[in-house]
Amino acid sequence: MTNPAGVLPDAMQGIGALMKATRQGGVPQLTLELVHLRVSQINGCSACVDAASRSAREAGESDERLATVAAWREAPFFTGAEQAALALAEHATRLADHVDAVPDAVWDEAARHYDEKGLAALVVMIGVANFFNRLNATTRQVAGRAW
């Protein structure tokens, strides 16, 4: 099947509106791209890993940082704000892995770096990335293929 969002034009418009909204929260574009990439890595969505990597590169991200997103805790390349966003992304994606899906400490660290608008942008980006992953994995979208 082709991508369901492409089959339903209103769905694609809605996704576009959500993506546009994430860019209005004051979070750097590269951080949003890293969040999308990390969520997609966790979910094993090759199409989204590919798309997020390409988008990040186009936005100016380095290959060094892209190659270490999966091991961001051990890599010295990420700022405190980026680490907080990546931790939030991991917890909000792996909801069933913990009794307290997003612990206060994770949320509080993100809130130390981002205001309410920024947190909203991150949460929406995490949700959209997870949504993309589910569409693409369910319909077996192939990495590198345009929708």
- Listed by start position, the domains of the chain span 15-138
What percent of the chain is modeled with pLDDT above 90? 73
* 29: exposed, middle or buried (Cβ count in 10 Å: 0-12, 13-18, 19+): middle
Say which CATH architecture domain 15-138 belongs to. Up-down Bundle (1.20)
Handedness of CA 14, 17, 23, 25 (dihedral sign): negative
Is the per-residue pLDDT at 146 higher than 70? no
Looking at per-residue pLDDT, the higher value among 110 and 138 belongs to 110
Q: What is the pLDDT of residue 145?
A: 63
Is the per-residue pLDDT at 107 higher than 70? yes
